Amino acid sequence: MSITPRLGYAGDPSGADYERWREEFCRRVLTGDVVPLAEGPVRCDVTALPLPSVKMSGASGTPMSFVATGTDPDNALGFVLASHAPMRIAVDDRALDLAPMEVGLADAAHVGAHVSQLSEGSFRGLLINRKALLELCPHAEDLIARPLNANAGVKMLLQGYCDLLIENANSLDALARNAAAQHLIDLVALSLGTGRDETELVKDRGLAAARLEAIKADVLARLGNGDLSLAEVAQRNRASPRYVQMLFERTGTTFSEFVLEQRLIRAARLLRGSLQRSRKVSDIAHLAGFNDVSYFHRAFRRRFGMTPSDMRSGMPRGDDASRS
């Protein structure tokens, strides 16, 4: 079963299908209720990703209000990123309007508090265990429905990281899911502002780790490009080449070593796959991003203890190969 349920509905806000969707959405994602804000048919497409201490969701569609009913088991605080729609956060007599790409904090445990999507568009939401967030940001409750002066880079990173997690959620093991949840909480804490000690902890553990994961994803998406360079990746991720190199070095490797390892793993996977059996080994090398076929053969033998042709023919592989 997918761990990222997609809970979509399009049609009139009445009838058995609508009530069934509303119950499923409210139970699995919101722990609250939904109220359409416009006349006529509604459309809402929701993707939910439950993580330890964090429930992440993405929603797009027609204007709608999401209302807290006070039944959330985590007593959660809600972090809202108004990706591509103006939003409003309201708690009692306090209200905060968010323009697209602004962020705000809501109270998912306060009865009647609501987060409203004011026009057609999309947004990202994080329901975060209150205790987990307060440990990093003790004054978080004072920021509910208050303007936040969040760094633009952190907001962009949060948007990209949420999208990356949803896209790859079904391949995350338990360790990766715990790490992803911690990265998200750290990024939210940076958006809210923390004390000096907490900020240093978050920057060291969360922001750098999240940026590295985003950079790795960018590299993997372009692995077949034989001209992929550190400078190009750094520019695309709005960082200096030295900073990108430093992120990799902190994990015990380098940018070049990471790219080489991933290209060799891709080549091995292609060689073992039935769909590529008719291709020449040199074609496989180019598909994996190697411009120099002779270098590919040397690197492949060094990594797997056999030639590419040996791997294709199914000869026994060493321990290194089995881990690829």
**Domains of the chain, with CATH numbers?**
6-221 (2.60.120.10), 223-324 (1.10.10.60)
Q: Are 189 and 137 in contact (CB under 8 A)?
A: yes
Residue 229: how many CB atoms within 10 A of its CB? 13
Return the closest-CA partner of residue 117 out of 77, 57, 171, 202: 57
Residue with tokens 């959620």: 169
- The per-residue pLDDT for 294 is 95
Mean pLDDT, 10 residues at a time, over the chain (324 residues)? Answer: 69 93 83 90 91 90 91 87 94 93 93 93 93 86 90 84 82 79 85 59 61 85 91 88 86 91 93 81 94 95 92 61 39
- The per-residue pLDDT for 266 is 92
Residue with tokens 């790795």: 216
- The per-residue pLDDT for 318 is 44
Quote the CA–CA distance of 120 and 102 in Å, as a whole number. Answer: 16
- The per-residue pLDDT for 113 is 92
